[in-house]
Amino acid sequence: MKLWNNNIYGSISWALKRKVTTKILRTSFLVLIILILGIATVVALDSDKANALDESDCLSCHSDPMLAKPIVGGGSIPLYVDGDEQSASAHRYIDCTTCHTTEPHSVETPLTKASLAEKCGSCHQYQYKLHLDSVHGEQLALGNPDVATCVDCHSENRSPHSIIRVLEHNATAYKKNIAATCAVCHGDGELMASYDITEKVYESYMRDFHGKAMELGGTELSQLNKATCTNCHGAHNIKSVNSEDSPVGTLEHLAATCEGCHEGAGEEFASGFLGHKQTSASTVPVAYYVEKFFIIMVWVIGVIAIGLVALAAIRYASQHRWKE
């Protein structure tokens, strides 16, 4: 046979004429393309994780967790910067010296919460101006450290080096996480009591339709179309709810706020909204008694159902015993 005549060229041309060979070649070609695409993706993703810009090699000293600056009169300020955090942050392509000047050691640390906002505001002027005028920013300017500055809403650990883009799913300002971010302060009973603000805003929001739907829904932005805190109060421009400028301050404003999503809602629709008020016999008697009625009804039905199941079980058991 021709095949066995030691002619390599002949064997190859024989093989090439087989259908099986074409199939094998096609499959290998496909596998090769998939492999190349895979490697390219891994490389591309990896380059996104590139180290934060650090052109002056500041991290050679500041990556030391023990680095701290003693304060006159005792205590110290930690000067550790977590390189991994900075590398995952929205500012990873901004060099340390862009924010810290080329002579960082001639600037005193720490700044106050207000001057921190000012520092962020040197680049983010739009958000800074809105924040200055907000209930949080006004208090910051008066030296009140309890209110929110930029890092309180934009960083998990309130560090200027771990600010994550707002559209990343793990960002504190990502829509699904906003309620929890506000609740760090607004769920703190003691802090809120000292301002005479109800501490139940988070709890009541989570009981409300919007909060429940948001919690049960997915994490994709398209599934997060329900209202969260910032849809009713704003984000950088939050005002006291008693102020005329607040989007929930007057019934007219509240209706406009609902209309942003509920087309043609109108004032009547908005006036039915209880806000964060607990229903009570004196504030909203109808809602209060209806809620009580449903709670009692659920219990009664529950008890009857359990009773019926128990009776059936007893009957079944006793019938089986008699048979034996």
Cβ closer to ligand HEC: 46 or 103?
103
Q: Could you tell me the smallest distance in angstroms from the CB atom of residue 47 to ligand HEC?
A: 14
DSSP β-bridge partners for residue 69: 77
- What is the full DSSP assignment across 249-272? TSHHHHHHHHHTTSTT-HHHHHHT
Cβ closer to ligand HEC: 222 or 318?
222
How large is the C-alpha radius of gyration of the chain? Answer: 32
Whole-angstrom distance, CA of residue 67 vs CA of residue 60: 11
Q: Which residue is nearest to ligand HEC (CB)?
A: 275
Q: Could you tell me the smallest distance in angstroms from the CB atom of residue 142 to ligand HEC?
A: 9
Q: What is the DSSP letter of 105?
A: G
> 158: alpha, beta or left, given left = phi > 0 and alpha = psi -120 to 50?
left
DSSP β-bridge partners for residue 78: 68
Cβ closer to ligand HEC: 22 or 168?
168
Cβ closer to ligand HEC: 15 or 133?
133
Q: Kindly state the helix (H) or strand (E) to which residue 77 belongs, with its residue range.
A: strand 76-78
Q: Could you tell me the smallest distance in angstroms from the CB atom of residue 162 to ligand HEC?
A: 10
Cβ closer to ligand HEC: 86 or 176?
86
Q: Could you tell me the smallest distance in angstroms from the CB atom of residue 165 to ligand HEC?
A: 3
Whole-angstrom distance, CA of residue 90 vs CA of residue 308: 60
Q: Could you tell me the smallest distance in angstroms from the CB atom of residue 286 to ligand HEC?
A: 15
